[in-house]
Amino acid sequence: MRKYVIMGVPGSGKSTQAALLAADLDLVQISVGDIFRWNVQNHTKMGAQVRRIMAAGELVGDDLAEAVTAERLAQHDWNFGFVIDGFPRNRRQAEFFLETYDIDAIIVLDLPDSEIRRRVLNRRLCVGCGINYNLIDSTPAVPGRCDACGGELTTREDDTEEALAVRLRTYHEKTNPVLDLFRRKEYVITVDARPVPDAVQAEIRQQLGLPPQKPQDSQESQESQKSQEPQESQESQKSQGSQGSGSA
């Protein structure tokens, strides 16, 4: 059983790295931001509650964030463990998390502010399957269309200059201090998030003492991340949505 948390500034590649880690270790990938986004896209009651907050780049209330995370983890579909990103984001959430779960390691993805802006402002999201594209490094074959499902590529509502500034400030003010709490109790590793995804993943595994990705898996996992992960996570989000907080 392996239980990991991935933390890092917006655009540092948390969900990409979580997917690569989850794929061949059979971990369940849980993204709290994806769960909220699924609710917004599907016009649930929870979606209506969080839409404006998210678009402004602010944090959703702790009660809701904790409930969503606890409910998702309570599904106990993680036989080999989980990797969670987007939680905890402040001291209260971290205390709740530490009281409830036994975490093996916190993975911190480190990225300079200049690179964050470049990545986030060039990010596009497929409305069909949820795949992320970066117009600099992973341009789609047909502009504006998803390679995997042909869906329309849109900009995340919070990937604007204004919302990014709020998200960065929140990260530095509220999320970063949480690391001190973790450093006292848990095993924290910091990884340079600037290299290409496979290289970042290799560094994570090396620091955690995990087996490296098999070379053929590396390509496949990138592909499967494109074709499967969003569907898998949408499934889990659907069930989250249908059970979640009475809010779906």
Query: Could you tell me what percentage of the chain is helix, strand and coil, using 3-state DSSP and rounding each to the nearest 5?
Result: 50, 15, 30
Catalytic one of 89, 119, 124, 226:
89
Residue 221 phi, psi dihedral angles, 5° rounding: -70, -35
Residue 103 touches ligand ADP, criterion: CB under 6 A: no
Shortest Cβ 168–ligand ADP spacing (Å): 9
**Residues in 38-57 at the binding interface with ligand ADP, rule: CB under 6 A:** 53-54, 57
Listed ranges 20-28, 85-93, 100-108, 147-155: which one lies at the site for ligand ADP (CB under 6 A): 85-93
Distance between CA atoms of residues 73 and 109, nearest Å:
23
Shortest Cβ 91–ligand ADP spacing (Å): 12
User: In this structure, is the dihedral angle defined by the CA atoms of residues 236, 242, 243 and 246, taken in order, positive or negative?
Assistant: positive
Binding residue (CB under 6 A) for ligand ADP from 6, 22, 32, 108: 32
Binding residue (CB under 6 A) for ligand ADP from 39, 44, 83, 89: 89
Residue of 85, 80, 82, 134 whose CA lies nearest to 109: 85
Identity of the residue, 59 or 148, whose beta carbon is nearer to ligand ADP in the bound complex: 59
Identity of the residue, 57 or 230, whose beta carbon is nearer to ligand ADP in the bound complex: 57
Q: Which residue is nearest to ligand ADP (CB)?
A: 33
Distance between CA atoms of residues 134 and 156, nearest Å:
12
Residue 72 touches ligand ADP, criterion: CB under 6 A: no
Shortest Cβ 153–ligand ADP spacing (Å): 17
Residue 59 touches ligand ADP, criterion: CB under 6 A: yes
Distances from the Cα of 203 to the Cαs of 10, 73, 105, 194, 243, in angstroms?
20, 27, 14, 12, 37
The residue whose two tokens read 């600037």 is 194
Binding residue (CB under 6 A) for ligand ADP from 13, 33, 197, 244: 33
Residue of 22, 19, 208, 30 whose CA lies nearest to 104: 208
Distance between CA atoms of residues 36 and 228, nearest Å:
19
Q: Tell me which residues touch ligand ADP (CB under 6 A).
A: 10, 32-33, 36, 53-54, 57-60, 65, 86-87, 89, 93, 158, 167
Q: Which residues are annotated as catalytic?
A: 14, 89, 123, 156, 167
